[in-house]
A and B are shown apart, each in its own frame.
Chain A
């Protein structure tokens, strides 16, 4: 493979990797499962890159491969990792592909909305998602219980969703 093709791959991958990861999380919400499949998907994308038709849409192609890798992962790991039926996963993948422009817009707004959170909410989100500490430890440091912390995280995510919706309303006045 020549250098130009390498570069093409690198550019496409850098541009779309977070969306490929998001596609996987839709089907496998568990972070570690999603990471495993993302790694494997990255590998397959690279292996198949020479077969990729540059006229095609890279994101659709890579999401298709990610979908197959989710299927393989679930086959290897058995029932306990399954979240949804094959049929529903296919339907969710389809909805996701169709909604890509909307999701892209929403991602841009998410950054804005995170900035609007108060510093405690941001710290909670950051520490909870970073995965460095257990929920128990974070809860203790915030003088609360793990259950209360989960509830707080839910409220924060809800706030973020509402903030994004408001942003979309501003950007797309009907």
Chain B
């Protein structure tokens, strides 16, 4: 049955605004009443509200398991040339997080201070029982086979045999991860997400590190499909992983309702205290054709498209068990122990076979440790002033009419007419060129690759000041440059002053070459028309435009701004194939007035540096 479609109101409509306020939790009582009146007797509005709130609920739902975590994630440092190394290892003593069903936490059960039945603790317990039932199914459906595969033969009591729904670890590192496009696969929303039992990770490329609560680490290398199917292992359907097992002992303490007599527990138990300690277990990786079990080691496993499994031991030893035929059951006698530097290949089919390879055999190239990722902030003012982005240089200018670099003096503050051409800046390795953007006649060349842009307005091919990388703006007297209450002409800030009309293009490829292994992530700045321009008697009539282009295509545009327009936050994502970044300003409809003191404050490029210097199979090794 086709349901009536959801009709989206205009983004700036009252209905849209009020529904947003309710999601933000910022709605005032009067607005709430107004929303009620808008929804009453309007079925389309009700359906819109329901659909919107359902989306809101879904996003709450998928982040439920992470609400309890309090970890400061490292932000990219805004300071000049700063480098922030991101830790891949998080808590040295991993803790069991709150499961997504909040009442399951054993350590947070409050003692009942009020009558127990009907209290929160009571509901917690019953919910735990419900979850216990759910887990019974979960166990039956998903985990039973792990008892055979990932764990030592069970010797525990029946009540201990049922695993509870737990988070088995967390993501502790990601480098260049691209997730699968599979429409049914939802990637983890957090780069430090907890890892629930049963979670599948499908990587198209990049590296993902999971640290189990036991201390075992698994590095998945895309393309790869891996499912966390036990607290001590997983199923590698495709691709490569490296597992490093620390110690080999593991334990998880959490509440689990007893399988039997659940209702009597609800009635009688006042404080659940069934802390279940799992038996020690060996870490195992299951594949379509084999099970590789850790015997105190570090090893790699690769599964090909055909399901062939190749395993290599870097340290210690592993047991490789061949899975036979279509039933997926172990075949007796098809088990080998591999020692350091040995490898084995297991081919499936009706007649599975295992081939042990010696230390000299060429095997797959495994990533044994997560590369160190460092974020750097590249300062574009320094670049224009002659630096490499990290040297903090200031107070140099470029003449947009010829590309000449030099100091700028107040006498330079005179009208400059361009010749309609793009000028290379030979003296600066990372500045491709400069120009006066004038769309009066033709499209304007904006980089040395010949990209043209036809969107600039008619500026009469003129500007009133050179491009300035500062520092106080040279004028008489030297001028500060306030935007949003901050003076970007004074330390610790800086500015790229582009009095309308000016244009400058940075060579992103040259910056990448100068930072091997670096990946440009984004350009950011605060932009606007300096409020100092308001000293002009024509201030209120000032009109200028701000532009950011990448390879000749507009990524950011603000038109008709003056000193009262405030500061604009500019954030442009840089792709790996983006070659040129162009910043430009143009006169608006105010050629006759003065005060187009347009600027980019603290212009930065964020750079991610991955240490790709070590050989791949040596990373993180001994």
Contact = CB atoms under 8 A, between A and B. Distances in A.
A and B interact: yes
Contacts of B569: 143-144, 148
A120 B134 contact: no
A99 B61 contact: no
Contacts of B610: none
B123 A40 contact: yes
Nearest to A132: B69
B390 to A, nearest CB: 20
Interface string A123-162: 0011101111100000001111000101001100110111
A110 B130 CA distance: 29
Nearest to A24: B57
B55 A106 contact: yes
A126 B198 CA distance: 21
A89 B14 CA distance: 20
Contact of A102 (B51, B68, B138, B522): B51
Contact of B190 (A31, A130, A143): A130
B186 A165 contact: no
Interface in B164-187: 179, 181, 183-187
Given A21-B61, A31-B60, A154 B53 contact: no
Q: Majority SS of interface residues in chain B?
A: helix
Given A43-B123, A98-B3, A131 B67 contact: yes
Nearest to A164: B55
B522 A35 contact: no
A103 B66 contact: no
A103 B49 CA distance: 12
A6 interface: yes
Contacts of A101: 1, 3
Q: Interface size class for chain B?
A: 35 or more
Interface residues of A, number: 77
Contacts of A103: 50-51, 54
Interface string A101-115: 111001110111011
A53 to B, nearest CB: 19
A90 to B, nearest CB: 11
A52 interface: no
B577 interface: no
A162 B8 contact: yes
Contacts, number: 206
A25 B126 contact: no
Contacts of B30: none
A119 B61 CA distance: 20
Interface stretch (B35-43, B342-350, B489-497, B592-600): B35-43
- Counting chain B CB atoms within 10 Å of each CB, the highest count among A13, A46, A92 belongs to A46
A132 B130 contact: no
A161 B52 contact: yes
A83 B22 contact: yes
Contact of A34 (B26, B57, B136, B522): B57
Contacts of B50: 26, 92, 95-96, 99, 103
A39 B23 contact: no
Nearest to A167: B183
A55 interface: no
A25 B51 contact: no
A135 to B, nearest CB: 9
B329 interface: no
Contacts of B137: 7, 10-11, 14
B129 A46 contact: yes
A132 B67 contact: yes
Nearest to B6: A165
B63 A25 contact: no
A127 B101 CA distance: 19
Given A30-B25, A95-B43, A132-B66, 7 more contacts: A42-B126, A91-B46, A102-B3, A115-B187, A119-B573, A141-B73, A157-B56
28 contacts: A14-B137, A18-B58, A25-B53, A31-B60, A35-B64, A42-B126, A43-B123, A46-B129, A91-B40, A92-B49, A96-B50, A102-B3, A102-B51, A103-B51, A111-B183, A111-B186, A115-B181, A115-B186, A115-B187, A125-B59, A125-B189, A129-B62, A130-B189, A132-B67, A157-B56, A165-B8, A168-B6, A172-B2
Interface of A: 1, 3, 6-7, 9-11, 13-14, 18, 21-22, 24-26, 29-31, 34-35, 39-40, 42-43, 45-47, 83-85, 88, 91-92, 95-96, 98-99, 101-103, 106-108, 110-112, 114-115, 118-120, 122, 125-127, 129-133, 141-144, 148, 150, 153-154, 157-158, 160-162, 164-165, 168, 172
Interface of B: 1-3, 5-6, 8, 11, 16, 20, 22-26, 32, 35-36, 39-40, 43, 46-47, 49-64, 66-73, 75, 78, 101-103, 120, 122-124, 126-127, 129-130, 133-138, 140, 179, 181, 183-187, 189-190, 263, 522, 524, 569, 571, 573
